[in-house]
Amino acid sequence: MNIAIDCERLASTFVQLCEIDSPSRREKGVSDFLRQSFGDLGATRIVEDTSAPRTGSDCGNLIVSIPGNKAGREPIFFACHMDTVEPGCGVKVLRDGDIFTSHGDTVLGSDDKSGIAALIELIRILREDKTEHGPIELVFTTCEEIGLLGAKALDCTLLTAQFGYALDSTGIDRIIIGAPAANKLKIEVHGIAAHAGLHPEQGISALCLTAKAIADLRMGRLDEDSTSNLGLIYGGVATNIIPDSVTIEGEVRSHSLQKLAAHTAEIERTFQQVIECWPLPPSLAHAALGHPCPSPRLPDKGNENEAPAPAPSVTITVQLEYPAMHLNLTDPVLARVKQAEMILGRTLEFQVAGGGSDANILNSFGLPTAIIATGMNKVHTTDECLDLRDLTRLTELLYAIVVA
Ligand SMILES: [Zn+2]
C-alpha cells in the first residue's frame, strides 16, 4: 500500500505541538491549535465538552468529527491526551537526523504529542488522496497525567463511534490490549506526640508505627497480575517532637479485581495489626483491658460520649483510581488492527501492560479502546526522545486502520 505521508510536514507539526506549553490543567494552547488545524482540514464539528470545571483545566476535552466519504462504514475514534508532565514548559525541540529530543531541561512531550501529530498528518493525507473511509472522531483529553481527570469527566454522548484507539504508549508496532485496575491508598497513621527529650516514654511515634507496618508488608510485584507501591510519605513537626502524624500514599494494581481487593485488604490489615499490638505508654497501658495482643494497648470503645483516649490509630482511604481493561483478539476493535497488520505486511505485538491510561476509562464507559504505541520513548524524563521513522510508521498504521 502506498501511503503518501509527508515526513517533513509531520516532523514540523510534531515540533510545533511540543513547543506549545500544555502542563496538566493548562491545555488550552494545544486545544486552540487543534481547533485551527482540524477546522482547516474539513472537520464538520469541533466541540469542547463541559468537563473544565470538574478537572480544573483551562479548557474541556475536545471532540473533532471528520466526516466519512464512504456510506455504510462504521465510525471509529482515536484518542490522545493534550497535557504533558513537568518539567514541560518552554520546550525547545532538538533534532539530530531523525531523532527528536528536548534540550535536556524539559521533557520532550512526545507523550502524547506524537499521537496528536500523527492524527493531524493522517487527516491531511486522507483529504489529499481522497481514499474512501468511514467517519472518524478524534478525542483530545485534558489532565491525563494527573489521574485521567479529563477522560473521567468526558461527555461520551458527543461520540457516535462504538470503539476506538488511544495513541499513548512507548515503543512502536505494539498494541496494548489489557491493563490493570488500580486502587489509590492514603494511609494516615496517628501516634501520640511528646517531647522527645523530656518525656519520650509518653509518646508513640507515628513514624515508628509506619516503619514497622511497611517492614511487615510485601511490596513491588506481588503475583503475576499484581503490584503495589508506597510512593509518598510525609509527617512530623520537629526533631525534638515525637511525631503524632504520618501520612503515606501508595497504590495497588492488578489485572484481577479479586486480587486487587485482597492485596488492598492485606495492606489495611497490616497497618491495623501493628497499631493494635504496639505497646502503650505506661500512662495509658493501665487502662488497657482484654486486648488480644501481648502488649495490650487500648481500653474497649466504652461510652461513646466519652472523649476518645489518645492512642495510636490509622485511617485508610481507598479509592479506585481506574478500572482494568481487557480486550479479546476477536473484538471488532482488534479485528480491525489485524486487518491493518495484513494490509501493511507488518507484525504487531499484542501485549498486556502494567500502566493505567485514558483507555482504561474509555473501556469502562463501554467503548472498547485499544492502546497503540506511538514511538515515544523514555517518557516522563528529560531524556525523552522520538524517532521520526517511528512516527511515520505510526501514521501508516493509523491510515491502514482507517481504510481497513
Ligand atoms: Zn501519555
Q: What integer is the mean pLDDT of 379-397?
A: 98
Asked whether the predicted pLDDT for residue 1 surpasses 90, the reply is no
Q: What integer is the mean pLDDT of 265-290?
A: 84
Beta-strand pair 220-223/136-141: unpaired
Measure 82 CA to ligand 1 centroid, in angstroms. 9
Asked whether the predicted pLDDT for residue 42 surpasses 80, the reply is yes
The second-level CATH assignment, the architecture, of 7-180+324-403 is: 3-Layer(aba) Sandwich (3.40)
If you search the block for the grid coordinates 479485581, which residue do you land on? 257
- pLDDT range class, residue 288, cuts 50, 70, 90: low
**pLDDT, position 287:** 57
Annotated catalytic residue within 83, 168, 244, 387:
83
**pLDDT, position 294:** 46
Task: Note whether 251 and 229 are within 8 A (CB).
Answer: yes
Q: Could you tell me the fold of the domain covering 181-320?
A: Alpha-Beta Plaits (3.30.70)
Q: What integer is the mean pLDDT of 269-281?
A: 94
Asked whether the predicted pLDDT for residue 303 surpasses 50, the reply is no
- pLDDT range class, residue 292, cuts 50, 70, 90: very low
Measure 145 CA to ligand 1 centroid, in angstroms. 7
- Nearest to 340, CA basis, from 394, 268, 277: 394
- pLDDT range class, residue 286, cuts 50, 70, 90: low
Measure 81 CA to ligand 1 centroid, in angstroms. 7
Measure 328 CA to ligand 1 centroid, in angstroms. 23
**pLDDT, position 311:** 77
- pLDDT range class, residue 282, cuts 50, 70, 90: confident
Average pLDDT score, the chain: 93
Whether 83 is catalytic: yes
**pLDDT, position 283:** 74
- Per-residue pLDDT tens for 350-364? 999 988 899 999 999
**pLDDT, position 317:** 97
Measure 276 CA to ligand 1 centroid, in angstroms. 42
**pLDDT, position 273:** 97
Q: Using CA atoms, how far apart are residues 243 and 367, in angstroms rounded to an integer?
A: 48
Measure 277 CA to ligand 1 centroid, in angstroms. 44
Task: Note whether 111 and 84 are within 8 A (CB).
Answer: yes
Q: Using CA atoms, how far apart are residues 299 and 15, in angstroms rounded to an integer?
A: 65
According to the 3-state scheme, what is the secondary structure of the chain? CCCCCCHHHHHHHHHHHHCCCCECCCCHHHHHHHHHHHHHCCCCEEEECCCHHHHCCCCCCEEEEECCCCCCCCCEEEEEECCECCCCCCCCCEEECCEEECCCCCCCCHHHHHHHHHHHHHHHHHHHHCCCCCCEEEEEECCCCCCCHHHHCCCHHHCCCCCEEEECCECCCEEEEEECEEEEEEEEEECECCECCCCHHHCECHHHHHHHHHHHCCCEEEECCEEEEEEEEEECCCCCECCCEEEEEEEEEECCHHHHHHHHHHHHHHHHHHHHHCCCCHHHHCCCCCCCCCCCCCCCCCCCCCCCCCCCEEEEEEEEEECCEECCCCCHHHHHHHHHHHHHCCCCEEEECCCCCHHHHHHHCCCCEEEECCCEECCCCCCCEEEHHHHHHHHHHHHHHHHC
Residue type, 120: I
- Per-residue pLDDT tens for 304-322? 454 544 579 999 999 999 9
Task: Note whether 362 and 166 are within 8 A (CB).
Answer: yes
Domain ranges of the chain: 7-180+324-403, 181-320
Annotated catalytic residue within 27, 49, 137, 144:
144
**pLDDT, position 39:** 97
Measure 146 CA to ligand 1 centroid, in angstroms. 11
Q: Using CA atoms, how far apart are residues 187 and 31, in angstroms rounded to an integer?
A: 37
Task: Note whether 20 and 13 are within 8 A (CB).
Answer: no
Return the C-alpha cell found at 125: 493525507
Measure 305 CA to ligand 1 centroid, in angstroms. 51
Whether 6 is catalytic: no
